[in-house]
């Protein structure tokens, strides 16, 4: 089993950029990226709608981040 990377913020889900993707925002670096749903796992982690987004380690370096 490969290494995974966990991301903790989810802004929305879209079908416009890819067949299905999640918009992830990284508040630490003020960047965002569309992550295909086919390579990510999204789980709610609490009542405040906090989510955990997990992607395979091999995919993390392929994420195209853009400034917000």
pTM recorded for the entire structure: 0.62
Task: Provide mean pLDDT across the span 14-43.
Answer: 77
What are 32-41's pLDDT values in tens digits? 888 888 888 8
* Residue owning tokens 């670096």: 29
- Please report where in the chains the tokens 């999204």 appear, as a residue: 42
| CB 62 within 8 Å of CB 13 | no
For range 2-19, the mean pLDDT: 57
Residues in Cβ contact with 68 at an 8 Å cutoff, skipping those fewer than 6 apart = 25, 30, 31, 32
Residues 26-54 have a mean pLDDT of 79
């Amino acid at each position: 089993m490969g290494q995974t990377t966990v991301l903790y913020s989810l802004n929305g889900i879209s079908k416009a950029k890819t067949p299905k993707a999640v918009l992830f925002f990284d508040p630490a670096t003020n960047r965002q990226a569309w992550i295909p749903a086919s390579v990510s796992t999204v789980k709610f982690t609490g009542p405040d709608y906090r989510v955990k987004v997990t992607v395979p380690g091999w995919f993390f370096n392929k994420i195209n981040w853009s400034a917000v």
